[in-house]
Structures are given as C-alpha cells and as structure tokens.
Chain A
Amino acid sequence: MTTTDTGSRTSGTMLDVRGLRKVYDGRGRRVEAIRDLTFTVGTGELVCIVGPSGAGKTTLLRCTAGLLNCTAGEVTLEGERVTGPPPGMAVVFQEYGRSLFPWMTVRQNVELPLKEKRIPRAKRRHLVEEALAAVGLAEVGDAHPWQLSGGMQQRVAIARAVAYEPHILLMDEPFAAVDAQTRADLEDLVRSLWKRLRVTVLFVTHDIDESVYLAQRVIVLSDSPTVVLEEVVIDLPDDRDQLTTRSLPRFAELRSHVYRLVQQAKAGREG
C-alpha cells in the first residue's frame, strides 16, 4: 500500500497490527491473552475497539503503545515497527487520577511533554493555552489536578495529549470512570477534536453505545484468547449529536448488531 499523506481522510495506513499474539508467562501458568489480531487503522480514521471485559483490550493497547512486548506478530506505526513508545503517539489512560503528575499544576502537566520535545518556550506556551482552551479548561491552568473533578482531570489528560500534536491518539477506556453526563460531553469533545485536528484516534472501550456513537469503524473482539470477530463500518452521518444520532434507526441497528456480537463472544466463554 502506498502511503501518501495529503491530509485527506483515510489516505493511507497509520497503524498496522499484524498477527499480534500475547502470552503472559506466570509461575507455571501460561495465559494466552491475545491469540491472533490483525487490523489496520487508516490515517485520520476514528476506530473503536470494543469487546467483553477481559478480552485483552488493555493488553492490545499496551502492545500498540509500545509499553508491552508482544509474543508474536508486529505492530507498525507510520511504517516503523513499534518496539517502544513511538514519537508521534499520545495515550490517554483510564485512570486519569493516576496519569497526571499531582505535584505539577495543570499547565505544567500539559507543558512537560512539550519540553521533552524541545519545543521553544513561546510556541510551548501557545500550544498549552490552545489545548486547555480546546478542552474548556482555559481558566484552571494554575490548579493542581487533584483540585479538579474526575471529568475535568480527564480533560487535562486529553489536553496534554492534544498539545503534544500526535499523529495517533490512543485512548484506553478513558471515560469508564466518569459519570454519564460528563461522559457524553467528553465523547463529543473527542469527536470535535478529531475533526478539527485530523488526528488518527484508536479508542478502546467496553461500552457498545459509546463505540457506535464515536467511531467510523468498530472492531469487535472475541473473548480471551482474543481474535477479531468482525469489523463493523459505522455508516452514520458525520455530524453526530447525543440526541439525534442516538435516536436514529440506523444507530439502533448498528448497536444491536455489535451487541449481538459481544454477547456471542461472552456465550463462547461460557459454552
């Protein structure tokens, strides 16, 4: 496949996961978390990975992020094989309370990765303020993360990821620990940032509704040992809205389809 980034959507392959397998070797106990996963994410795409809990979603994300070595197969990001956390990638973790540096202010948290990228001070300032404004937190730059609510903390983590100007943004069940209203707001935030910044997003979730609402394509995983059950193209209109999109007949169809797949995956475990 030729990769020509013209800035248009899905013009090439951003992420290529091929034959990924992960076996945890414990003391006399081998756990095959992931059996065989193959999928690609195109440049500028927003893809959700959904699967029953215990389907190795987090393992997959950690392998993709270069935080974990896979047992077999390979992960390629922008044509380069991933052996450690690659540049051009940002990760938003589920545990917002533990992924922000509590000894730093919100602004310092967002700025630190930029310092490591050796971005000049003036540009750094600009990126930080812009990112905080984009997530609606322009006013709290001097607060510490623990002074904010859970949803606001996750916004800070998103701002930090956005300011880093990644080519791909990995999100590991980022909204699993926030309340429903906040969650809806954050979903819309992800959609709008994705559209504005043209960043590729790989979003892992166990929430079927969330995956259908957010994604252009949903990759449904089986139960552990994990394989890809199906890739579902989400042909919903591009302008999504919590009320209208979720009440579309097509939304219900897609949702039921993915739901049935996940239920099958669970039944496979029990059977």
Chain B
Amino acid sequence: MRPLALARRLVLLLALPAVLAGAWWAATEDSTDFFWPPLSDILGTFGETWFTGRFTADVLPSLARLLAGYLVALVLGVGLGVAIGSFRTLRGLVEPVMEFFRAIPPPVLVPILMLFAGIGNGMKVLVIVSGCLWPVLLNTVEGVRSVDEVLRDTARCYRLRPHARIIHLVLPGAGPRIFAGARQALSIGIILMVISEMFAASDGIGFTVIQFQRSFAIPQMWTGIIMLGLIGIVLSLAFHALEARVLSWYTGQRRAQREG
C-alpha cells in the first residue's frame, strides 16, 4: 500500500474514536459527579490499576478461560456440525433439539452450571462453551450443506476417501460459514467470560470490575470497561487477520465474480 493510502486509511480508522474520546474528555473535564469522573482521572489511573500485578492476576486468567472455552466450542461445533450436516437423518433428529438449546440465553445457565460444575475455572469455561457452541455448530451445518453439488460429484468421481473429502472438500467449502459462526461466537465468548466472573469468582476482569464498583473505586471501575473494550478490539483484529489468511481464496473468488 502506498504511504498516502495508508495514511488515509489510518485517519478514517481513528477519526471517529478520536472524536468520541474527545467528546467524553470535554464532557467530563470539570465533572464533580462521583460516578462520572473526568476521563483524565480514569486514564491517569489506568496504568497503575492494570499493570501493577492485575494483568497477570486477573486479565490473563480471564483470557485463558475465554480461549479454552472458545477453542473447545470451535472443535465441538465444527466436529458435530460436519457430522450433522453430512447425514440427513441425523440432521432431522437433532435439529429441533438444537433450536431449543440455541434459544436459551447462556447467562441463565450460570446458576445451573454452578450447581454441577462448582465455581471454579471448569464452570466458567463450561459457560463460555455453552454459549459459543451454537453459532459455530449451526453455521457449520449450513456451510456443509451448501457445499457445491458439482464439487461433490468431482470429489466422488476422483474417489476421494472420507477423510480427504472432509479436509479438502467439506471443511474448506463450509469455511466461510464456519468463520461467520466463529466471529459471532467470539463476541458471545467475551460477554460470557465477564458474566461468569461476576457470579462467583476470585479473579478475572469481570470480578475486578464488580470489586471496584462495590468498593466505590469508580475511576478504576471505568478503566475495567476500557480494558474490556481494548481486549475486544485486539481479539477482533487477530480474528480478522486469521480470517483474511484462511479465506483469501473466498474474497478473491468473490472479487473475480463481481468484476465478471
């Protein structure tokens, strides 16, 4: 990319955030409201709040649970989705059940899962899995079903064995839908990461934010919100980078089709 184009993109990217931050700054500059501290106070306490031990004590455990739950959901969702998408009878059997479980808002499972899985890491990971699984699973099923008929015939004619068919035909063919599901699951995962820590926890970002709120450390509480936003951005950027790499064929093909 040429430097000018890069600069243009950076300006476009950062313009709105800068305006919003500026507005926040200006609106709270002379604020004496206890619950609505000046942004300068919040930013002033950010580094001290998070980078003097809390990053390893709270942020990393949160991220570890998120990552564990997310990966388990991905493996389960894609695995089950390929099976369900490939066999019509199986699909007819489990589809109504899937719709039921998908309709349950995952946070409501937290108290129930606490009964079975306790209040440790296992419970929190389980909550994240239970929420992230459905978008991945349902999108994988749809993706597998949408694999092109001619491509399926081609794979049959060249006698691709079942595992080769999954690796070279089904998974890449369902790839765009799997990524769409995984993207939804990532934002659900972040939400559930926080919520599961608000119920019963001894560390984590959600836990810390609640602690700050209860001890009236209001600027610190706000820094927790900013921290979560930043984590969200970083994860989303990482996701996009991976998606762009894996699905480069898909974007290329679509561009080629548009240009006809």
A residues near B (Cβ < 8 Å) are 62, 65, 67, 84-85, 87, 89-91, 93, 95, 98-99, 101-104, 112-113, 115-116, 144, 146-147, 164
Contacts and interface: CB of A to CB of B under 8 A. Distances in A.
A74 to B, nearest CB: 19
B256 interface: yes
A65 B159 CA distance: 12
Contacts of A67: 153, 156-157
A112 B253 contact: no
B233 interface: no
A93 B153 CA distance: 9
Contact of B154 (A84, A89, A93, A115): A93
Interface of B: 148-151, 153-154, 156-161, 164, 168-169, 172, 175, 249-250, 252-253, 256-257
Contact of B157 (A89, A102, A104, A115): A89
A98 to B, nearest CB: 4
A65 B149 CA distance: 15
Contact of A85 (B159, B161, B252, B256): B159
Nearest to B161: A116
Nearest to A91: B157
A84 B156 CA distance: 9
A46 B85 CA distance: 40
B3 to A, nearest CB: 28
A116 B164 contact: yes
Contact of B175 (A65, A93, A103): A103
Contacts, number: 65
Contact of A112 (B148, B168, B175): B168
The 9 A-B pairs at the shortest CB distance, nearest first, are namely A113-B158, A98-B150, A146-B253, A103-B172, A103-B249, A146-B256, A91-B157, A99-B154, A85-B157
Given A98-B150, A99-B150, A116 B158 contact: yes
Given A67-B156, A112-B158, A98 B249 contact: no
B256 A147 contact: yes
B170 to A, nearest CB: 12
A95 B252 CA distance: 19
15 contacts: A62-B153, A67-B156, A85-B157, A87-B159, A90-B158, A93-B153, A98-B149, A98-B150, A99-B153, A101-B169, A104-B168, A116-B161, A144-B253, A146-B249, A147-B252
A85 B151 CA distance: 14
Given A112-B168, A146-B257, A101 B156 contact: no
Contacts of B158: 85, 90, 112-113, 116, 164
A87 B150 CA distance: 19
